[in-house]
Amino acid sequence: MSSSKVILVTGSNTGIGYELVHLLAAKGHTVYLASRKESAGTEAVAKIKKEKNLDVKFVQLEITDIKSVEAAVATIQKAEGRLDVLVNNAGISEMSTQQTALTPQLPSIRSAVETNLFGLIQTTTAFLPLLRASSTPAAPAVILNVSTDMASNTLMAGPNGFLHEAVAYNTSKAAANSYTIALAHELKAEGIKVNAVTPGFTTTRLNGFAPGGKTPEQGAQTLMEWALLGKDGKTGLFVNDAGEFPW
């Protein structure tokens, strides 16, 4: 179909990313499921084929390894020649290591920042040439950064702030939000849409399958419209399923 997009979802062999992959594929898009481990990724692709009867593509991608990132760029460049949508979904929480501001676990913080900030940045900048190759005023390229409620400094500093002891996750994601603002500002003149979206509390492996949250598919539904923005789509926002969310 002429409106079919080429879409990459990082860290998408499980959880929200996995659900987003098959939802996008069901709309007729060419979707790359990305995973650090090849075996986990190919199993996820096979599962989508078996359970949903949908064909998605696999690319091995460890976002903290620049050689892996560059190899993924080369794979998609050779196969597609462009990338229309980059969904930066890969992330780690380090929530199993309880840490407060007074008792920080520096290895956990470094690990979270390496993935949630540095990995996101180097993946985004590596894929920018392919995004630029696809982007037109009528069909702009899109960068969607999957965020969290806890990346909102406004929320966390207020009376409804929570899980303040998750220092590694919260600070790394807040830093990624700051990068999102800068990226959106710098790419606005080119028409490329850049936003951060929080799916809200969703029960996944990231939070140890904490009960009471959205299902992963419900979380993925929140991301869908922001991954498929058109020429009139907004940029430079932090949003949830109710609208704009405070930075």
The residues annotated as belonging to the active site are: 169
Handedness of CA 47, 48, 54, 60 (dihedral sign): negative
Residue 57 has phi, psi (to 5 degrees) of -105, 155
Burial of 182 (0-12, 13-18, 19+ CB in 10 A): exposed
Neighbours of 129 (CB within 10 A): 12
Instruction: Give me the helices (H) in the chain, please.
Output: 15-26, 38-52, 66-80, 106-113, 120-134, 153-157, 167-187, 216-227
Cβ partners under 8 Å of residue 180, min gap 6 = 145, 147, 194, 195, 196, 238
Q: Residue 209 region, left (φ>0) first, then alpha (ψ -120 to 50), else beta?
A: left
141, 134 contact by CB (below 8 A): yes
